Amino acid sequence: MSSNGVPVLSDGFYVISTLDKSSFISVANNGESIVVTKNQQLATTWYFQYAPGRGGYTICQVPSKALDLVLDIDVNQLKIGPKDQSDNQIWVVDSAKRQGTSASYYTFQPRIRASSGKALTNDRNNVTVDHFSGVVVDNKQKWAVTLKDLFDVTTKDNEDSKNS
């Protein structure tokens, strides 16, 4: 759901990248932290699901829909955590058009503000890349969100399980 209350994405599988598609949001090898990778093959597929009545989306790591994208309130960074429907797992997604083009970009805002602990607020920060500390919630950054075909997701998951 966007900040004006209108869902901007259908439930589905997506890859999150910078606008020029040179960097992708991915789960680190430790399985807990979020990193930015330049390698599209290492980009994590995310499942966006609208959360009725919660004012946003849950964003789950694929293939395990038990792990969500979470704002770690203590350090103001993104990580992966068990799904528990807490406010730091609900994301407001806004969409706008790039000036002079028909292409869209998206911003991701936590439903909860990191600096205030548990207080919900309309004064949210956006997910951005800080080249010193990884993916954080700070200044507004524009992202591309690309729908990923379910066939691509299941094929990759099957290949990964064969290689295990």
- Architecture of domain 12-158 in this structure: Trefoil (2.80)
Instruction: Please count the helices (runs of H) and the strands (runs of E) in the chain.
Output: 1, 12
- Which comes out higher in pLDDT, residue 161 or 78? 78
3-class secondary-structure state, position 158: helix
pLDDT band at 71 (very low <50, low <70, confident <90, very high): confident
- Which sequence spans correspond to the domains of the chain? 12-158
Query: Given this model, what pLDDT does residue 158 score?
Result: 43
Per-residue pLDDT tens for 119-154?
333 334 555 554 444 554 444 566 667 777 654 544
Beta carbons of 90 and 110 less than 8 angstroms apart: yes
Instruction: State the pTM of this model.
Output: 0.70
Alpha-carbon Rg for the chain, nearest whole angstrom, is: 15
